Amino acid sequence: MKIAAEFLGSLGEIPAGDWNRLAGLDYPFLRHEFLFGLEQTGCANADTGWQPCHLLLRDAAGILAVMPLYLKSHSYGEYVFDWSWADAWQRSGLDYYPKLVSAIPFTPATGPRLCLRPDGDLDAAWEAALQAIRRFASARGISSWHLLFPEEGVARRLLEAGLHRRTATQFHWFNEGYDNFEAFLAGFTSRKRKNLRRERARVAEQGLVLKTFCGDDIGSERWLQFHRFYQLTYAKRSGHGGYLTRDFFTRVAPQLGAQVIMVLAYLESRAVAGALYFRSGDTLYGRYWGCEREYDCLHFETCYYQGIEYCIAHGLKKFDPGAQGEHKIQRGFRPVPTWSSHWIADPRLSAAVGDFTRREAVHSEAYLRDASTLLPFRENGG
């Protein structure tokens, strides 16, 4: 079976229906509306160092598979940190950038990456994809290809194919069939349960009221409010206004309809902070937070406890609140592994990366075990 590869300089080169038939609509970050929207609104393009070159595979029956792919001139917005690799390349007199990255820009959420037609041969598609990426990289002097936050089976497959694998840790909440938030807290030790109740009470004591909006109910005014909170918070943390533009929030996110949930905190009827979530059929993804000023415990309430409440109310199985944050463990978020896969063109540097990832894996596994001992549940049960 002959499979041909194409590299798309813009997602506008493929109709939304064709892409979405393979990528599906359930995982929101792979939807054509989301990825092309990032491109159209100036968030992910050549100017920002996220130049689209998405992979498309064809066979005799038509489009076989698609994969998000970007030519990167830096490592910002990836959440898998390889700055030390770039430094090692430079000290060796070589260029690490540009590199190829298969990921969702600014989104460290595990999900599908190579999206296959239902009748397609997965083994053949992966073989064709790897060959095409290697040829593309060789022809353009590209140092490497990195697949970020794939599902576990994909990471295992690529390890068997000779790629290097890295393991990291995130903290996710799992719904054990709780009827309400208090049922979730019932599994905590007494002291930890009191701590969470105290945090939630502290929000109310400051006169703050939380409201949740979904899809069309969010409305243009709230999108503008949220963008302002997002910019203010990024400016305080990093000195810039964030990766995402106002047009992303006002034009792109609303296209995802009920897959977008916004929680706003009000003080005397005025919105003062907010959190933005996305959802699939069984998972809630906490993505962005912003506020005009700090309030005691409000971040925990808006970004974590309201997300747990939403999952319980809507029967979602999992809550992925984003990268990093050991403080989540004490609030009932369990340490879970995430993966990334890495192909390095230069054999010498590939050997060095292989040694690094093997040594890193030992520490990553130990950290995951140690973090699990800090859970707040009685006898670390659920």
On whether residue 382 sits in a domain, the answer given is: no
How many helices and strands (H and E) does the chain possess?
A: 12, 15
On whether residue 80 sits in a domain, the answer given is: yes
| Same-domain check for residues 186 and 152 | no
Average pLDDT over residues 113-127: 97
How high is the pLDDT of residue 382?
Answer: 45
Which CATH number belongs to the domain containing residue 214 in this structure?
Answer: 3.40.630.30
Range of the domain at 98: 4-170+336-372
Number of domains observed in the structure of the chain: 2
| Same-domain check for residues 21 and 43 | yes
| Same-domain check for residues 85 and 209 | no
How high is the pLDDT of residue 235?
Answer: 84
Eight-state DSSP code of residue 162: T
Q: Is the pLDDT of residue 296 over 90?
A: yes
On whether residue 322 sits in a domain, the answer given is: no
pLDDT in tens, 147-178: 999 999 999 999 999 999 999 999 999 999 99
Average pLDDT over residues 361-373: 96
pTM of the predicted protein model: 0.96
| Same-domain check for residues 18 and 155 | yes
Q: What is the DSSP string of 26-39?
A: SSGGGSHHHHHHHH
How high is the pLDDT of residue 324?
Answer: 80
Q: Is the pLDDT of residue 190 over 50?
A: yes
On whether residue 378 sits in a domain, the answer given is: no
Query: Per this entry, what is the length of the chain?
Result: 382
Q: Strands 283-291, 62-67: parallel, antiparallel or unpaired by DSSP?
A: unpaired
Q: Is the pLDDT of residue 204 over 80?
A: yes
On whether residue 365 sits in a domain, the answer given is: yes
